[in-house]
Amino acid sequence: MIVLFSSCKSSHSTVSNSDKKTIQLCDDLVDNATDNIGSPYKFGGTTKNGFDCSGLVYTSYKKEAIILPRTSLEMSNYGKRIKKEEARKADLIFFKTGGSSKINHVGLIVEAKNNDIKFIHSSTQKGVIVSSLNESYYKKAFSHINRPTE
């Protein structure tokens, strides 16, 4: 298994060309997702006309020629599971919402700092938005974080 990206943290004073490419990829993935803020929720959706949560993540990665599984449950088994404290930009964050015992929601991390994780996702009520893991709803529903690998 080849690691797609090892870290999107850019606080190093000297950054190799490989690290620069990784940082750029992570920035591009987040930009792809945030370009859709305000799009409505649509079950099965993968366009600005409407996204479901996994459709937003799938489409954001596909734009960079990275093909992820299509559903949040399938995505939750893809890549390397990491600790919350190791979360980085462009990692995938998973939830079990509405009392579900299975993964049924995914977001793309846009920022992880100051004991908070902000992620972009498509919510059924508000469409594509950025939320915080510190919000009680998401804190309660949180399952895990994966770093995609190839």
**Which residues are known to be catalytic?**
53, 105, 121
Strands (E), 60-124: 80-82, 92-95, 105-113, 116-123
Find, among 3, 7, 137, the residue nearest to 80 by Cα. 3
Find, among 76, 72, 32, the residue nearest to 52 by Cα. 72
100 and 149 in contact (C-beta within 8 Å)? no
Q: Can you tell me which residue has the tokens 């992880």?
A: 112
Q: Is 56 helix (H, G, I), strand (E, B) or coil?
A: helix
Contacts of 37 (CB under 8 A, 6+ apart): 120, 128, 129, 130
